[in-house]
Structure 1
């Protein structure tokens, strides 16, 4: 039987700011209101921590708050109070609308909309304590929208290959010709940056009309049959990092960013801004070599920021 935790509270009457803060926190928590001043969530560690934080703020502002564990009365189904089907239905409607407006010209805008819808989905999911079929349908619709947009922006996107990632020696990959599909997007731009920065500083790049045009001696990346492409759950950038054993905390963060922008998943906080910058560069620069140079400057800045953040974290951990 599911156990529950109730927050019984009386908000401070003379502090409008504190009342508003508490109401917003309770709404954001996903709790259900049993009656005025009584809020309910399933007895889980995260839910209890949320109620404890709200309680501390209410008490600190002059109100009262009490947490009480409870079992539902016989014949009462508290789970119905947490049904998120309506929110998921509205989200699916918005996803369907966005997909209907998708074209080659609108792909960039629809991708931005897909990211916003992804945030909405994440917000609903966070307070969906009893997920069911509605959540699965919304998630599937969102993934389908993202995949469709990415396919339009980046035709011939590679399929993930099964198997292990082969380790490579850096000294064997110097002054090579590297080839990938023209009009590179996030994963290919990040791969080109990684190659130039860490693997082959004198690399030359070919931008292919079709993967079938790849010369036999060129090192292909990010297309089916390429020397370096998606393997399992990893996108091409992550495969290159693993292949040449370049793993560092900063490149791991870069990999998470590229993975999200290429294949979805957990969204880094900087993803929307980086995507907007790269989309602007891609729209404004028609020459792929110049596009790569401009994108490399963006990735250089990100790497420096990640490294500085990592150094600051290490200093903070020292006693």
Structure 2
């Protein structure tokens, strides 16, 4: 009989990258984490022993708890969360089962430093079009669901990054930027270790739209048109980002689930 308090790695993998993904809590011990310093995409590390200090951040949300083998630490933490009113499950087989299934993992080495009580903070140029919407989408869906994005005058990106502890992206002479023919979205996928068939396909579309290479993918001109349309619809960059999240959710789901589907509009002539 299937458990109502556990979720399989395969089922969780289908949720990651979508707006329906629960909050992922990694409660591995420091000793277990030191053996493999990677994270399931979108997960955040928390101490099972200090649950009272972070459980309130899950109010109104659903949680998946991850430990090394999916046994006592995740089972107990999930049970305590349920006791406090948070719908919670443990990952069946834990981190080891995820690794065995060859599912994506994020390299912690590349994660920016974060305030333990807050999100990662990123900064880039104001008035985003393509890369500066695609990258925040990737970060929120696969790295840090609570990530904050600052859009500022181009000349001030570096100074704002330094003064406010933010990570600059998609500007010249920083780590998270274009490299050769690759755009920043490509670089993030590679550096974070998120390479997968759907994200690789989406990256090609983004690169085509962002670097004036519509030949790279038939969908690139459509993404460019939608992105420029959004930039005209919204004068507020954060409002544009929220709208863009839905746009990239749709493109990602097409890349993952619908590339083989066609629109079969009846072409019979009237009276035939």
When normalised by structure 1's length, the TM-score is 0.43
User: If each structure's helix is expressed as a fraction of its own residues, which one has the higher value?
Assistant: 1
Which protein has the larger Cα radius of gyration, Structure 1 or Structure 2? 1
